[in-house]
Structure 1
Amino acid sequence: MLAVALTAVVVLAAVTLWAGRRQTEAAEPPLPTVGVQFHGLWESYNDDERAIVLDRLVEAGAKWVRIDLSWAMLQPESGETYSEWGTGLADRVIGMAAERGLQVLATFWLTPGWANGGAGERTAPTDPEDYGAAAAWAADHFGTRVAAWEIWNEPNDPQFFAGADPGTYVSLLRASYRAIKEAEPGATVVFGGTAYNDSEWIEQAYGAGAGDHFDVMATHAYQAFSDTEPEAPDDGTKWRLTHVPAVRELMARNGDADKAIWFTEFGWSSHAQNGPDVAHYERGVTPEQQADYLARTLHLLADRYPFVTHVFWYRERDSDRGSVHIDNYGLLDRDLQPKPVWHRLQQELREQR
């Protein structure tokens, strides 16, 4: 009888230990939702390649794609007409994503010449209401095929938004938020992802009246020394991924503590260019480091910054556009074969499930 009792105690202890471990595992914080930048509207793609890439993203476990959608492509001639070719291409590509169950974040940017006197696609329109009207049309046209609309790309960077003026940007945000919500009330409107965690510029945008005109804040959380590991401590500047709490604190001070932050771009480029003569923002990492840094970022956000709910890896595939650094961020190589970072993403998301 004593032996039976002792056995029962041992079994009970083992079951308790197992249950405790299961509870610990279950208590691990969830990873952020993962999306991927998909340049599917670029002329370098054909439909066969688009299909392969989208299938690969689904296989990896991605839930979203971020597609850069050009206003100038949709409405090249005037504010009264829309291009059959441009809208047809966008319909086809967005449809391919939707058919695979991928939610679409559309980054709506690039001004047609008629709207700003030919000042260039990256210059704001003369009348923000023209942008708002086009955004409303797009939200109505694509409907639920586009779940979220990002208002411009990196508006704090003059390379992407001429002048990078917060007030000018907020005029677009105000016009488009109202218009999109009227056309498609269920759509999420995303603040244009800033280059880096630029809390100072975002503060100026709040000062210009941004607060009531977006549902989600967004940043592009790259490391300015582009081979830096994701956990590198905040140095008080926008150049670190770990500066994102400063953005969160700014939002809270402006009454937006309940809004999420999305990283609508982040990533590391896999290449060997990282010597002393290489610019700090063009340093590469090994393919293995690229994969490791992706996984570490997901867990860092889950553990320390759960208010970052969605992240979009930049980008879907490597390219050959001429910059070694920009060309090698992909989850897939140029031949659309998975890189180590793709395999690591799939592993992390499978384990999460």
Structure 2
Amino acid sequence: MRRRNMLVAAAASLAAATCGPLRGDAEPEIERAIPEARVNPWGANAFLHKEVEFWKKEKTLEMARDAGIKWIKQQFPWEEIEQGQKREFFDQTWQKPTWEKYDEIVSLAEEFDLKLIARVDRTPLWARQPGAVPEAPPANFADFGDFLSILAERYKGRIAHYQLWNEPNLAHEWGNPPDPKGYVDLLRSGYQRLKEVDPSIKVLAAPLAITLERSPRAMVELDFLEEMYQHGAGAYFDIMSANAYGLEFPPIAEPDPNVLNFRRVELLRAVMERNNDSDKAVWFNEYGWNASPADMAAEKLIWRRVTEEEQAEWTVEGIRYGRSHWPWAGVFCIWYLRQVGDIPPTSSEYYFRMIDPEFTPRLVYKEVEDNSKKIR
């Protein structure tokens, strides 16, 4: 979720758009013809692969279940699993199989009746171009496809949803200037190999960072998706991923091409519809509002700020709005459930959490817990 550059660059372009609260409004029932939209919408991002102690992984998922969360977005970093060379799944430092922690995560998710969405990215050193960073795509896209095939075979029948890469419209997440065709080539390789293992697997296209920036560092997500379609992307994903940050605006603030807000996703959906791809659902990869302290320096407020009360209320009301107005909306993965302590309180990113690192639930957790059975 490292999008400092693009949000800071977009700050001056944000326009105010406000409306009254949604709370208490009766919402109409809408028909959901798309199978991937007929799902429980409550999801959250977790970082279980960074957690060392088993009881903390267990407690994190227990609290997710108790809040009514049904989906967990969890990263499966390619560089961490297939480490030293192709088909080597052994950690030389710790002298144990690299699969060990991921087998544990998958088993724990099953224990707590949670479904996993596996985010797969980060190229291992052996597969990179010389001098490339982990975020950059591999030198040979077939290596990525081969890894996905092995991953899907290992967890066949246990993980059914795979997100391929993350925010390729940012240079920071692609390792190079944004390249829609390059991403489609990567997506094609991964999609084909996953479907060979199990045709029922659902492939999620990478979520695109919301941005107003047009530069070698970032490409407006609406333009990036349009170019993806021009290069044939529609044939190589089953579900579109989207990011939906509300910034300082309430969830019913209207979409505008010059504004970053929750309903901006409607503009992304319009791109899909123009490209005859309206039979696919949109799932929300990162969703939420930031409740940084009022005294945090303005330059640190990358995602702006709202109060904790607004964060709690708007998180629920955004899902209510989406489920009552968008027949194509599926899972909303809140950013984020709980982090392991590697994000300090001096960072604005700390204040997205539903649960503190020490397992204290925040207001947003309690609001989700109170409403998860009411909004389906």
Bucket of the pairwise TM-score, normalised by the shorter protein:
0.7 to 0.9
Supply the distance in 2 between the matched residues of 1:31 and 1:182 (Cα, whole angstroms).
25
Is structure 2 residue 187 aligned with structure 1 residue 173? Answer: yes
Aligned match of 2:62: 55
Aligned pair count reads: 327
Do the aligned partners of 1:273 and 1:283 also contact (CA within 8 Å) in 2? no
Counterparts in 2 of 1:283-302, with a 5 A limit?
283-302=304-323
Say which of 233, 239, 247 aligns to 1:216. Answer: 239
- Per the TM alignment, residue 56 of structure 1 is displaced from its structure 2 partner at its CA by 0.5
TM-score, length-normalised on structure 2?
0.81
Say which of 240, 247, 272 aligns to 1:251. Answer: 272
What SS does structure 2 have at the residue aligned with 1:281?
A: coil
Supply the distance in 2 between the matched residues of 1:238 and 1:87 (Cα, whole angstroms).
42
**Rg bigger for which structure?**
1
Is structure 2 residue 311 aligned with structure 1 residue 321? Answer: no
Do the aligned partners of 2:40 and 2:70 also contact (CA within 8 Å) in 1? no
Aligned match of 1:38: 46
Q: What are the Cα deviations for residues 151-210 of structure 1, in whole angstroms up to 9, with x where unaligned?
A: 011111112111221111111100000000111222110001111282211111111221
Letter in 1 for 2:112: R
Is structure 2 residue 251 aligned with structure 1 residue 262? Answer: no
Supply the distance in 2 between the matched residues of 1:45 and 1:221 (Cα, whole angstroms).
30
The alpha-carbon distance between structure 1 residues 31 and 150, as it changes in their structure 2 partners (threshold 3 A), is closer
What SS does structure 1 have at the residue aligned with 2:188?
A: helix
Do the aligned partners of 2:27 and 2:324 also contact (CA within 8 Å) in 1? no
Supply the distance in 2 between the matched residues of 1:105 and 1:208 (Cα, whole angstroms).
26
Aligned match of 1:159: 172
Q: Percent identity?
A: 25
Supply the distance in 1 between the matched residues of 2:108 and 2:298 (Cα, whole angstroms).
43
Supply the distance in 2 between the matched residues of 1:209 and 1:127 (Cα, whole angstroms).
20
What SS does structure 2 have at the residue aligned with 1:175?
A: helix
- Per the TM alignment, residue 234 of structure 1 is displaced from its structure 2 partner at its CA by 1.3
TM-score, length-normalised on structure 1?
0.86
RMSD across aligned positions (CA): 2.2
Is structure 2 residue 67 aligned with structure 1 residue 68? Answer: no
Supply the distance in 2 between the matched residues of 1:155 and 1:270 (Cα, whole angstroms).
27
Say which of 121, 139, 152 aligns to 1:109. Answer: 121
Please state which structure has a larger fraction of its residues in helix. Answer: 1
Letter in 1 for 2:299: V
Letter in 1 for 2:280: K
Is structure 2 residue 352 aligned with structure 1 residue 340? Answer: no
Do the aligned partners of 2:255 and 2:267 also contact (CA within 8 Å) in 1? no
Do the aligned partners of 1:266 and 1:314 also contact (CA within 8 Å) in 2? yes
- Per the TM alignment, residue 304 of structure 1 is displaced from its structure 2 partner at its CA by 2.1
Say which of 119, 140, 144 aligns to 1:131. Answer: 144
Supply the distance in 2 between the matched residues of 1:92 and 1:28 (Cα, whole angstroms).
39
Say which of 200, 216, 237 aligns to 1:186. Answer: 200
Supply the distance in 1 between the matched residues of 2:191 and 2:85 (Cα, whole angstroms).
22
Is structure 2 residue 122 aligned with structure 1 residue 99? Answer: no
What SS does structure 2 have at the residue aligned with 1:302?
A: helix
Q: Which runs of 5+ in 2 are unaligned?
A: 1-24, 31-37, 91-95, 212-220
What SS does structure 2 have at the residue aligned with 1:262?
A: strand
What SS does structure 2 have at the residue aligned with 1:221?
A: strand
Aligned match of 1:4: none
Supply the distance in 1 between the matched residues of 2:273 and 2:49 (Cα, whole angstroms).
36
Letter in 2 for 1:182: E
Letter in 1 for 2:264: H
Supply the distance in 2 between the matched residues of 1:204 and 1:273 (Cα, whole angstroms).
40
Between 341-350 and 129-138, report the one with greater CA deviation: 341-350
- Per the TM alignment, residue 275 of structure 1 is displaced from its structure 2 partner at its CA by 6.8
The alpha-carbon distance between structure 1 residues 87 and 276, as it changes in their structure 2 partners (threshold 3 A), is closer
